[in-house]
Structures are given as structure tokens and as C-alpha cells.
Structure 1
Amino acid sequence: ELKDFFEKNYKNLQKKLAIVAQTTYNIVVWGECLNVIPKDDPNIVIYDTICNATDARQSDAAELAKNSDIMLVVGGRHSSNTVKLFEVCSRYCKTYHIENSDELRSLKLPNATNIGITAGASTPAYIIKEVQTKMAENEILAANQNEEFDFAQAIDESFKKIHTGEKVKGIVIAVNNTEAIVDLGTKHTGYVALDDLTDDPSKKPSDIVSVGDEIDLVVIKVNDAEGTAALSKRKVDEQAGYEKIVEAQKEGTVLEGVVQSVVNKGITLTVMGVRVFIPASLTGLPRGAELDQLLKKKVEFIIIEVSEGGRKRAVGSIKAVQNAKKEEAKARFWETAEVGKTYSGKVKSLTSFGAFVDLGGIDGMVHISELSWKRIKHPSEVVNVGDTLEVYIKDLDREANRISLGFKKAEDNPWEIFKSQYQVGDVVKATIVSITSFGAFAQIVDGVDGLIHISQIADQKVENVKDVLSVGDVVDVKITDIDEESKRISISMRALLENSDEEAEEEEEAPAEDAE
């Protein structure tokens, strides 16, 4: 009929076509209908309205029929569920639809090795039990019964009642995008919704369980009329996880977890199925810092409080783990620390008087005077927060837990560089860096200045240095004195002018001597 519809009527439709099925419709026929519907047509919308319980029951019955010589479908003649089951099973083997055990007498059952029994969801349990009992008494069944399989016991177990709150075991028989379907070994088909599999919204049912898995569950709700049961794996995991969390709190165990959300005044994560809240003050971040920077990050923490009663919740602390690690690092540091030992550390903070460097759990300070051979006004002229420095221990105060660090290297000492390259009598170019009333200071090498006294600027009297020199001028000077003890250098412009005059006089006197 559906095929005929598409051939004759579909092309005349002016709107979209919606296709739905009766909730208890035969899933095999429904599958055949889907095959005749035009593919990839945006104007056709299909709603899979077959009930999950119906789908599972029909699928199970079909699998049973495929492996049976005879199927008995028990239920009312006018029961939609039972009729559909009969239609499904009839496709795979000889199938009989009976309402009760009395009808077995009128059936002429052929010899069969495997006989399957199924029933509609609304079929009373006692009727199914009667059919099972009659079949067990049947000589044909008795002759072919597998001695290792107690058929009566299996049927008895299938009618076992389950109750809300009861712990049960189930075998996963199907997994889809929203739930897992499990076999409980009873007449109930079990359903575990995604929310009852996990509280991780990023995961799908197939990420949690697979077909064939045997899992522990808690019964949430039972519907005997429909033959279904709502179950939860998450509640079982939460209880087991809660017990481990309580133990972790007692033992101070360090746990790991991924931060799932930022909430009011803290962050949350789930570990072993238990929700853990970590207050902002215990995240290890500075006061006022953005908590979003921890989102989706793996963190280490300990449990400091566990709630009692129905709500299984816990409070954790990242800061406590960080503090413990710092104390361990400090202990290791002081065991091996000695003056002169070098370390590689990161600059944590800057002050007007120096830089604090993390040596791996313990901080040391590089005084501003130790950051550069040159005179600087602030540490930021040399280093920035986050820089990695090679430092060495200058001094240790174990009682006060204070560590003084050095950063300047002897080979970089400008004075040593100057001494190795220059001596008294050398003529060099120098840059005027400052002017005073008594002279001018000129830089010879980076970090080393020499003084040109006012009397050494020119070969005549200079009243004001600024009349002759300006900051930034590059001048030729002669090194006239080096005071190594005081690290002072005297340089002269006048000495070069006097040398020039002497050379000029010698040139003038030379011809007269020749004439004589």
C-alpha cells in the first residue's frame, strides 16, 4: 500500500509528508516500509514511533523464532502486542497463537527439538506459567529436553518479580544513542537511560557499555503491565564510588579529576561517580582569579569533607595538595642546598627591590643590585615575570627560610672586560653620558665610565662644561689613570690636544736643524 501511495499520490502533495507507525506495529513490516520510502527526500519526515519496549520484545521474539522449530505466542486474540508478535515469529518458523494452556490439547505439534514461548506484554503471568507447565508435561518435549537445561526452572526465573530499589544484574543486549537495553533474566525488558548510565554529558551510551557486558544495576521503576523496568547503573557506581571517597578522605589519598563546570563560588567535578565541589578559596588560584581557566583541566585534590545521608556529595581541596607538594619540595631543597649551587628557576614576581624566583617549590630573591652590573632603577629593566633565570645561591638563612640569589656572572663584569682590553695611555672613543659642574662622565665600554675633569676638557680654561660638551657627544680621549681599588678611571681630551701641539712644534723645528 505504501509503494502504491508513492507511485500514485505522493507527487501531488503540496506540503511535507510525515510518516508514523502505531506504537506496537510489527517492526519487521515497518523495516520493509522504510525500504520503499524515497531516500534523501527533504520533504519526507519519518518518526520512529514504535515503543522501545515493543521494539525490544519483537526483536527478542524474532531472535528466538530464528532458533526454534516451533513458536508458541501466548495472549489474547485481540491484543495488538500479541498479534504483532505472532506475525513476527511466523516469518521464521511454524507459529501458534494461543490464549491459554487449554488450547494446547487441540494443537497437533510436530516433533521439534527447540520450542520457543513468548507472550504479549499484557498477558497475565499465571497463564504463561500454565502453558509452560503443560509443555513440560508433554511427552514430545520430555523426549527432546536437554538434560543439562532445566526448562521449568528457567521459566520460573523468567517470572521472578523485581522491586524498586532492588540491586540486579543485567546483560546488555542493545545500545542506541539514548539508552542501553538489558536482559534481566525475568519477563521484564530493562532500560538504562543515558542519564542513568553516566553524569558526563559528553559521553554516549556506547562509551559506557557494550553489547554482552554484564553490569550491576538498581531498579528505579517497574511496569509489570508493559513488562519493562527502568534501571540505573549510575546509582550503583555512585554508591561504590562514595565508599571509596569516604576511604580516600580517611587516608588523605590524592585523587585526580577533570573540572566539569564553574559554579557559584567554586568548581565541580565527578570522580568515581561522586560529585565533588571545590570552593574558590581551595582551588589554589589567587583571590579574585578567573575560575574558568580550570575548566576541562585535570587537577589533583584531596577530599576534606563528605556529606552524610541521601545526597552523596564531597568537598575537595586542590590547594592542600599544592601546599603538601611545596613542603615536600622545600624539604628536598634544604637537604641539598649550599652556597654557590646553581639552579634554573622562573621569575614569580617583581618588587622595587628585587625579583623572586621559584626554585621548584621554594622561592629565593635576587636583589636588584644582583640583576645587572649596570645601575638600574627597577628589576623590570632586566627581567619579566615568567622568565627563566640561571641563578646561584649567595646566602642561606635556614631558620628564616630565606635564600639570597645571585644572577650576575663574573665574566660579564664590565670592569673586568675593561681591564682586559685597555690600559693607561690608550686613546679611545667615549660617549658623554652626564655633565656635572666639575667635568663630564663618558662611557668607554658598556657599564664603565671615565671622568673628564673640567681642567682636562680643553687647553684653555673652561668656565662651564656645557659650553663645550653635551650628553651624547662622542669624543676622543686618552686614559690617564686607572684606580683598580676604587674602580675609577681618569680620561683627558686636553692630553690629546697637547700631544698635537708638541708634534706640530717638532715639525717646525726640524727644518732649522737641517739648515744648521
Structure 2
Amino acid sequence: PPAPAPAAEAGAGAEEELPQDWLDAKKLLDDGEAVEAKVVGSNAGGVLVRLGNLRGFVPASQLAPHRKASDMALADALELVVDQTLKLRVMTCQYGPTRRSQRLVLSETEALKADRIASMRAGDVVSGKVTKVEHFGAFVALDGKPSLSALCHASELSWEALRHPSDAVRQGDKLQFKVLSAEPRRNRVNVSLKAMQADPLLERMGDVLTETADDDAECAIVPGVEAVCERLRAVEGVVGVTMGRCGLERRGGSQDF
């Protein structure tokens, strides 16, 4: 599932009472904008960055995957990041009267995800694996880097009426979807499975039937068609009405006259 939304706390004072550097950091958080910051140190849990006059923290789990080589100790990998400039997003901005009560947490992975989401457009076809099915829809891990989680709402899973999303997809299914919306600010992607198929209500008779039945061949009459024929025959100027091709589709019937 998508990561929880970043949180901001202004502490005891009103926003206008915050020091300017904290106001700037809070604006970055509220706007979801990325910022570049230089790494000035590292510790056992991550790296320290300088943002204006503030010192922020980037947990090791929030650094880009390529910075954490599997054949290298974490402390050594973090040390290599020192003096580099990273593109980051503010995830937590908490101001307090003492340094111990202040928290400024940033993420490189969230900034990379936002860049990828910003490159997506409605209608793009993406591939992914269903990771979780809920009553409101399915979560999908999209292929590619950085990893992204998208939501396919229950109403976008199938043209058919579903009792539960699990009637259409199961955990582990690998499928293609169409992007409905991509929001970099919120790192949110909504996709559709049913958009990969044509709306059955818009199909033409020629798409439903490949062959025309012989005139003498029996064809199941679409319910209600006979009554329609009677009304048409009663219209002034109509000489006669005969039925041609007919077909029963999943969501309705089709009839040629």
C-alpha cells in the first residue's frame, strides 16, 4: 500500500511564530516539492543533511536503493554519501522549543517516486503485480524503478458487476493497466484494468457477431424486440419491419432491423 502521508507539526506556537527556516521547510512539506540538500554526516541509522540553517535526517531506508550495496557494510555505504547533494522530499517537519523536540526528516526515495509519477500521463499502459485485494479495490506494485504502488478501485476492475474485487483479480496476478491519474504531490497513482478492454455497451453488432445467420436459420429473439417491432410497424411511413442479426451480450442485447 502507498506510504502514509507526511505529517507536519508546528509545535506550541502559531505558524507565523515559526523561524523562517522552519516556515520554508513546512512549505516544502505542504507543497510536496523536492529540494536539494548536501549530506554533512552519517550515523548508524542514516545521513545528516543541511537545509538552510536546519539540520535534517535521511534514514537509511529512505535513501535510493543503489546507495546501499549488498556487499558493503551499511556504515561504509552511508559514509560514501557524505558531501554528496541529494534530491529530497520533506516527510516530517516538527518544530519545538528545544533541539531535542525538533524533527526534520527527509526522503530520497519519495523524491525519486515523485519524479517517476510526474512522467506518467493518463492513458499510459503500465504492467504490475497485484499485491493486495481489499473490499474497495486492489493494490498493484508497478514494474520498474523506483518501486511504486498503485490503486485500482473496485469500479475500475471490470465492466461486470462484482460481489467483491477478488472476483476479478487475485493476489499475485500479473496484469496490464491504464493510468487514470498520477499525482506527484501525493505520490499517488490510480489505474484501471477494465480500461484495457472496450466498453461492451459501445460494441457494434459487427464486433459481436462474425457471421450473418441464414434467413431460414433460427435465432434466439432478444427479449423485448418483438414489442419494438410492433411499435415500429405502427409508425407512419414504415412499410415493414424484419429482424436480421441478433446477439445476446454480457450487458445487453443487440438486434439488427
- TM (normalized to structure 1)? 0.25
Structure having the higher helix fraction is 1
Q: Which has the higher contact order (CA 8 A, sep 6+)?
A: 2
